[in-house]
């Protein structure tokens, strides 16, 4: 007859293996809980605003929790001397993830949702001419984004006055 202690140890091992399995599943689910996209511009170093909030300069990677993925996420790029670009981040359905979900009886979509952002969003910024640039800095001063001193400094720079 085996001592009861062994049965308890075996039961404890079984409970621990279930807890370890639960932790592994939870970690795997958390790993796939973000959607990312790379935002690139030519020229680089443009300011990137997502839904009106500054998030960095190009090139940058922007990430959002899976629960906050939307088809109408606004992106705006600004670079002095170039026209600003404003649009929505494009989303797409990844066919491979859908097929993986079918063949794994729904397990793949738990880790990687089929609906996500495109991998890369590329923006080719267009240079402003002198009149457009002057109008831009005038508008910035009127909006209070530039002081009168900053405005005069930029105006002289745009006009090329030494």
Q: The pTM is what?
A: 0.61
Q: Residue 13 pLDDT more than 50?
A: yes
Q: In angstroms, rounded to a whole number, what is the distance separating the alpha carbons of residues 144 and 142?
A: 5
Residue ranges of the domains in the chain?
Answer: 1-31, 34-125, 128-162
Q: Note the Cα 44 to chain centre separation in Å.
A: 17
pLDDT in tens, 72-84: 889 999 998 899 9
Residue identified by tokens 């929505």 is 88
Q: In angstroms, rounded to a whole number, what is the distance separating the alpha carbons of residues 77 and 146?
A: 18
- Tell me the C-alpha to C-alpha distance, in Å, between residue 85 and each of 7, 66, 71, 88, 141: 68, 26, 18, 10, 20
Bridge-partner residues for 88, per DSSP?
74
């Amino acid at each position: 007859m085996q001592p009861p202690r062994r049965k308890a140890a075996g039961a404890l091992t079984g409970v621990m293996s279930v807890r370890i399995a639960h932790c592994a599943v939870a970690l795997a689910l958390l790993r796939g809980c973000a959607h990312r996209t790379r935002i690139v511009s030519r020229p680089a170093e443009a300011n990137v605003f997502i839904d009106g909030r500054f998030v960095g300069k190009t090139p940058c990677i922007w990430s959002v929790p899976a629960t906050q993925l939307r088809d109408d996420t606004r992106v705006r790029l600004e670079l002095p001397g170039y026209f600003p670009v404003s649009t929505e981040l494009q989303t797409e359905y990844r066919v491979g993830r859908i097929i993986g979900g079918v063949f794994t009886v729904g397990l793949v979509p738990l880790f990687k949702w089929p609906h996500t952002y495109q991998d890369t969003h590329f923006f080719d910024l267009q240079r402003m001419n002198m009149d457009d640039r002057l109008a831009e800095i005038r508008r910035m001063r009127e909006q209070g984004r530039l002081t009168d001193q900053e405005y005069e400094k930029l105006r002289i720079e745009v006009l090329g006055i030494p």
